[in-house]
Chains A and B, each alone.
Chain A
Amino acid sequence: AQTVTQSQPEMSVQEAETVTLSCTYDTSESDYYLFWYKQPPSRQMILVIRQEAYKQQNATENRFSVNFQKAAKSFSLKISDSQLGDAAMYFCAYRSRHNKLIFGTGTLLAVQP
């Protein structure tokens, strides 16, 4: 069975600085998708970025980018120029070939002004 591990329960970053959130996963599949979701206090889950496992190029969405290391089964999220609105719980997720979406336990990000 697939598992997703986020080893950082909480992180803190200064406004305008860069922070990296870690995620590792375990799978025997070769084709899958990886996602980062953001959950602010409103509870609404918001997709931040996604990565196709067959693509070697790291995905980028404005200030958000990933470092995808397929062999190491690592999928970290880098947030550049952090903003107060980035404060939220961040979840890493894996979508299997059977379309099941599995989440890590989350990292609570605080942004200090």
Chain B
Amino acid sequence: GAGVSQSPSNKVTEKGKDVELRCDPISGHTALYWYRQSLGQGLEFLIYFQGNSAPDKSGLPSDRFSAERTGGSVSTLTIQRTQQEDSAVYLCASSLATGVGSGNTIYFGEGSWLTVV
């Protein structure tokens, strides 16, 4: 696609329910990132994919959070048994990642706004 696409753009869910957030990166981008941004806060790193593997999962806040990427393309972030503190914007980004420490531009989607009530 032309840009990073995320869905849903907005999601309201009840506490305790599971949610899935989807990210469709720019075609050909091998690197994919998930970030969480709470209201008025900075971007909190969650997980990074290179192809289908996740070299860095250090930012996942708890075992209720998981992510996968299949076919080196679409990624899904799953939050199980949602809590009110999970309410935030979840941003996905992608880039070409050639070599170590690439300076290739990272492109962001418009985010999925999750509200847990």
Residues of A within 8 A of B (CB): 29, 31-33, 35, 42-45, 47, 50, 52, 91, 95-106
Give the contacts of B58-117 with A (CB-CB under 8 A).
Answer: 89, 91, 93, 95, 97, 100-103, 105-106, 108, 110-111
Q: Is the interface of A mostly helix, strand, loop or mixed?
A: loop
* Interface size bracket, B side: 20 to 34
For residue A104, which residues in chain B have a CB less than 8 angstroms away from its CB?
42
Please give the distance in Å from A90's CB to the nearest CB on chain B: 11
* Contact, CB under 8 Å: B42 / A91: yes
CB of B12 closer than 8 Å to a CB of A? no
Please give the distance in Å from A93's CB to the nearest CB on chain B: 8
* Contact, CB under 8 Å: B43 / A43: no
Please give the distance in Å from B83's CB to the nearest CB on chain A: 22
* Contact, CB under 8 Å: B102 / A99: yes
* Contact, CB under 8 Å: A33 / B108: no
Residue from A33, A45, A52, A98 with most neighbouring chain B CB atoms (10 Å):
A45
CB of B20 closer than 8 Å to a CB of A? no
Known contacts A43-B89, A43-B110, A45-B91; A95/B56 CB under 8 A: no
CB of B13 closer than 8 Å to a CB of A? no
